[in-house]
Amino acid sequence: MTESLSTPRKTQNWKKPVAITVALAMVVAAIGYAYASPYIAVKHMKAAADARDAVALNEYVDYPALRLSLKQQVGEMLHRRIEGQHSSNPLLILGAVIGAALISPLVDAYATPEGVAALLDGMPPTGKPGDRPHAPPPAESGAPSTEPAQSAPAPAAPPAPAASGNPAPEARPVTTAGYRGLNEFALTWDRGSTGEHYAAILQRHGLFSWKLSAVELNEGNVSN
């Protein structure tokens, strides 16, 4: 009788460490997924934007918050532009004033799948009259094109040095991504040569969900 009672106890004692180990593994996996969730959201959002899939994109963009941020950022950008001219160039000031009147159409243009695609490609609004998103065309369905392989040129001699006085090729912006806080994640584009800085801000929605909710435009975006 004693042996029959001790067997279940031994089984229970063996199961407890296993249950604890499984629970810890699940907690670690959940923490890892929570940390990676904004990177995963950016990947899916970029794919949806490039495909102009408005339905899928709705899961990753907080359009009311994005509209508010665009309106505020572009308004501040135009204000800085007007202040920076010091009445030295009336035409530029007039252009900035006209741009201020077109903030709402600009916001409407960027709060779209095309606009989100442009934002995620590091091409923010400039605040100039007629400003519209400029992003690569949607990816076409089907097999990848083999044209580059068919038309690949033979190795050529190094190009001759550029003539003096010609502008150097524009450096590509440095793109970084990372947390700014527990509930904020930023994609940042920096161009050191011009001081251009631009960021797309994602906010946490729930434990694992993230949405594009804001942009940041600095002085470098309005220097030209």
Summarised one tens digit per residue, pLDDT across range 112-122 is 999 999 999 88
pLDDT higher than threshold 70 for residue 100: no
Residue 88's pLDDT band, with cuts at 50, 70 and 90, is low
Which whole number is the average pLDDT over 59-73?
94
User: What pLDDT does residue 27 have?
Assistant: 84
Q: Give every CB contact of residue 103 below 8 A, 6+ residues apart in sequence.
A: 71, 74, 75, 78
The whole-angstrom separation of Cα 174 and Cα 139 is 24
CA 176 to chain CA mean position, Å: 10
The whole-angstrom separation of Cα 112 and Cα 108 is 7
* Adjacency order of strands within the sheet including 196-205: 174-181, 184-191, 196-205, 209-217
Name the one residue in this structure whose structure tokens are 């741009």.
99
Q: What is the dihedral of CA 68, 71, 77, 80, to 10 degrees?
A: -100
Name the one residue in this structure whose structure tokens are 């992003």.
135
The DSSP code sequence of 18-40 is HHHHHHHHHHHHHHHHHHHHHHH
User: What pLDDT does residue 222 have?
Assistant: 43
Bridge partners, residue 222, by sequence:
none
User: What pLDDT does residue 219 have?
Assistant: 54
The whole-angstrom separation of Cα 203 and Cα 212 is 7
Lowest mean pLDDT among 36-45, 132-141, 176-185: 132-141
Q: Rg of the chain over CA atoms, in angstroms? A: 26
Structure tokens at 77: 């950008």
pLDDT higher than threshold 90 for residue 182: yes
Residue 131's pLDDT band, with cuts at 50, 70 and 90, is confident
- Give the 3-state secondary structure percentages of the chain, helix then strand then coil, rounded to 5: 50, 15, 35
Please name the amino acid found at residue 157: A
pLDDT higher than threshold 50 for residue 153: no
The whole-angstrom separation of Cα 123 and Cα 103 is 17
The whole-angstrom separation of Cα 176 and Cα 187 is 6
Which whole number is the average pLDDT over 96-108?
71
Structure tokens at 13: 């004692």
Mean pLDDT of all residues in the chain? 75
DSSP category for residue 134: -
Work out the burial of residue 70: count CB atoms within 10 Å of its CB; fewer than 13 is exposed, 13-18 middle, 19 or more buried: buried
